[in-house]
Structure 1
């Protein structure tokens, strides 16, 4: 068993705010819109203030930016929105944590938001729904996550960790185990208490793809499902026999409350979830890309386009993406690729 040792010190209080806001579900950042504190809001970590700070110096941006989608991407979107609004006080960024699928179905593909955050790629049926409403999604990778399995701090029997096979056994809808002893006879004969994201979450979808297999029997449904990651942490924290899974950022915010479980992908080596292990490709199969999707037509509006470019120009910042939020930043090559895609979409929208 392991506790991630990378601590972020001064950024802790900010990240606690972000996670708390995510649990609230809807976060209109009006308070941040008027924030003119230059102490932290304009610090991008890598020395870049993004295109929102340079290319628009001679113009005033104004208007609303509406974002729905993934609770996993929510804290990263919030961090970028805070900084953008500190430079453009007449822009209001409103973010809803609805789950990837909920955001696509109820907000983005119906034309109510300009962006949808997602912790997995858009599905074919979602693309069809968008198309039927004349919404053309532009996929932009914004970071890499290490999906994290957590257990209670009093769990002292798992030892080195869990295998992918054991995770499959725990969460599969086919003959799911009822007790820990059903997984390993040496473990306690006590009921499993399971916590995880709902089926509206991209984390749920990715877990099925990576652990259960899309052609398998599916995800068991006798568990406490929620769209709020803080609820998963609280559930696991409250029971010795609990287990759950969620995005790394929410675990990293609660390292004293729960334990992260190292995972073996069948080679006998148990790998802990960490930013470095995800970046190096060691944490398989649970490291995954994170996205935001922009509606191409909305990019014709200056404040929408400038916010999107600002996000990508700061997506390589270790200070923001890794230290403050808890994800792996884009590489410079990835940043160039995403910016080229974004610039092309903006040009086509105008």
Structure 2
């Protein structure tokens, strides 16, 4: 399933009851990770007719809230679990195995009629999005004197989104700190439509959503001091698309792993994840990372190696060598 079918699939899932006697695996969280987990679910259900996998979307933060209340088995996340969420899970007695499943490239997009933006720097993006810009930075000319005096219209994910958390950490310098006078939505397709309709618009979301809508939008190269770089699998893998490359995750609850259907689903995810990640237009991790995930699953290595922070720019291979914290 492509990201284009996201809302229809979620709505249909909410109206579909599991088959009588079927076991159920419940997943919620990130809209970015949804296409991957949903594709895995479809394959798994085709092979295991007696299991229903329900994949919902409430954003990374919303997904963790349910996960730490014991309401879901697996949480999709476009950022690592935060310190606050770690505490909530700890207080509720919810232990978890953390598994990175791929890389994403946060993609900055503008209207295709925008002919003046050839690239942007992280500093310019910060000038647009930082809290101090509210009510003050209103035109493109305020970002760069060479840009025209065109009204700046900003579109981005809402506060429950892990994409919002990561972008603000990487660009503004602190997670969840951004001007409040932008058009926010948990639905990436509303961001697509908003940027498409407004010549002065700019927005951001995951790479797969850009690829699906690349005829409607223009991706902006990011110049982090070494020249403009567009998001792509190659620039994510070689580290040149910085600082907007990021790992994406699933988290699996300890209690859920006691159920054979959850264990089998997660094993199917790990065995087929690289292929499905690539098919869904994300970037697979190194084979060694998927093997490490499987070992962590077998050894029941609970907790997170990120310590409740984003760790912008960190290599997954290096992070996995750190001790896990709960």
Q: TM-score, normalised by structure 1?
A: 0.81
CA contact (8 A) 2:25 2:54 kept: yes
Cα distance change, pair 27–122 in 1 and its aligned pair in 2 (3 A): farther
Residues 277-334 of structure 1: CA deviation (Å, up to 9, x unaligned):
10111111100000011001110100000101110111221xx212x31101121101
Distance in 1 of aligned mates of 2:214 and 2:23: 38
2:4 to 19, 25, 32: 19
Distance in 2 of aligned mates of 1:158 and 1:65: 45
Aligned counterpart, 2:100? 141
Q: Does 1:104 align with 2:64?
A: yes
Q: TM-score, normalised by structure 2?
A: 0.87
Residues 69-98 of structure 1: CA deviation (Å, up to 9, x unaligned):
011101111111111111011111111111
Residues 82-121 of structure 1: CA deviation (Å, up to 9, x unaligned):
111110111111111111001111x111111001111111
Residues 51-75 of structure 1: CA deviation (Å, up to 9, x unaligned):
xxxxxxxxxx951010110111011
Distance in 2 of aligned mates of 1:239 and 1:23: 26
Cα distance change, pair 104–252 in 1 and its aligned pair in 2 (3 A): same
Cα distance change, pair 225–279 in 1 and its aligned pair in 2 (3 A): same
Q: Does 1:153 align with 2:138?
A: no
Q: Does 1:69 align with 2:44?
A: no
CA contact (8 A) 2:97 2:301 kept: no
Aligned counterpart, 1:56? none
Report the Cα offset of residue 28 of structure 1.
Answer: 2.0
Distance in 2 of aligned mates of 1:116 and 1:174: 33
Aligned counterpart, 1:78? 38
The correspondence of residues 1-350 of structure 1 with structure 2, limited to 5 A, is: 14-15=1-2, 18-22=3-7, 26=11, 28=13, 62-105=22-65, 107-159=66-118, 161-176=119-134, 177-214=137-174, 218-267=177-226, 269-317=227-275, 320-322=276-278, 324-345=279-300
Aligned counterpart, 1:49? none
Residues 148-170 of structure 1: CA deviation (Å, up to 9, x unaligned):
000011000012x1111111111
Distance in 2 of aligned mates of 1:20 and 1:167: 30
- Segments of 5+ residues of structure 2 without an aligned counterpart are 303-326
Residues 126-168 of structure 1: CA deviation (Å, up to 9, x unaligned):
1111122221121110110001000011000012x11111111
Secondary structure in 1 matching 2:52: strand
Secondary structure in 2 matching 1:297: helix
